Amino acid sequence: MKKIAVTGASGFVGGVLCHTLIKHGHSVRPLVRRTSDLSGLPSPSTGENFELAYGDVTDYRSLLDAFFGCDVIFHAAAVVEPWLPDPSSFFSVNVGGLKNVVQAAKETKTIEKVIYTSSMVALGSTDGYVADESQVHHEKYFYTEYERSKVAADNVASQAAAEGLPIVTLYPGVVYGPGKLTTGNALAKMLRSSTCSSHA
């Protein structure tokens, strides 16, 4: 059994991840904000294998507290929006947040591995061919500030790996499934509204 910290736990991916990790016998410490919607998380009555940590990836001290005594970090926290009037939050959370996670992981001497959730958009366009995780974004143009921030965050992850941090980067595509509807689960929203309107 591992003790695992999960950032972005109140999101769709983070919530499903927490349920899955507990199901497989791990002890889970989700990092959530005081204002987070916790409806997608396991019940606090789950027992001693589930312990909420309050904080934010932009708050370094809260990361140190959340990671204390953990073996593994799943970093799934991100601002995932097609557009924002102020794009700075893409960079403060997606890039700055990862920098904080990396530094806190280094300072927390028990961390064996960091699993970072990037995005397929960080790999760039494919011009029709099927890409894999070895593709590198050319950084000539970006469709969104979200894409730009995820490419910058990937560079942070690559640098951390080069410095010896055991970090693995994941590149999910479109995420959907049963459960809580969030921006990260946008396809499910569209399917649900399409199904409802077709039966109206």
**Angle at 24 (CA atoms; ends 120, 12), nearest 5 degrees:** 40
**What number does CATH give the domain 3-198?**
3.40.50.720
pLDDT at 184: 57
CA 15 vs. chain centroid, Å, equals 10
In one letter, which amino acid is 53? Answer: A
Determine the Cα–Cα distance for residues 174 and 159; give it in Å rounded to an integer. Answer: 26
Per-residue pLDDT tens, the chain, 200 aa: give them: 999 999 999 999 999 999 999 999 999 999 999 999 999 999 877 778 999 999 999 999 999 999 999 999 999 999 998 889 999 999 999 999 999 999 999 999 999 999 999 998 888 887 777 878 888 887 878 989 999 999 999 999 999 999 999 999 999 988 877 876 666 566 666 666 665 555 44
Count the Cβ atoms, other than its own, within 10 Å of residue 140. 7
Beta strands across the sheet bearing 113-117: 53-54, 27-32, 3-7, 72-75, 113-117, 167-170
CA 143 vs. chain centroid, Å, equals 21
Pair of tokens at residue 20: 């899955």
pLDDT at 129: 74
Tokens 């070895």 map to which residue? 134
Output the pTM of the full model.
Answer: 0.88
Domain ranges of the chain: 3-198
Determine the Cα–Cα distance for residues 50 and 83; give it in Å rounded to an integer. Answer: 34
b/e sequence 5-43, b meaning 16+ C-beta within 10 Å: bbbbbbbbbbbbbbbebbeeebbbbbbbbeebebebbbe
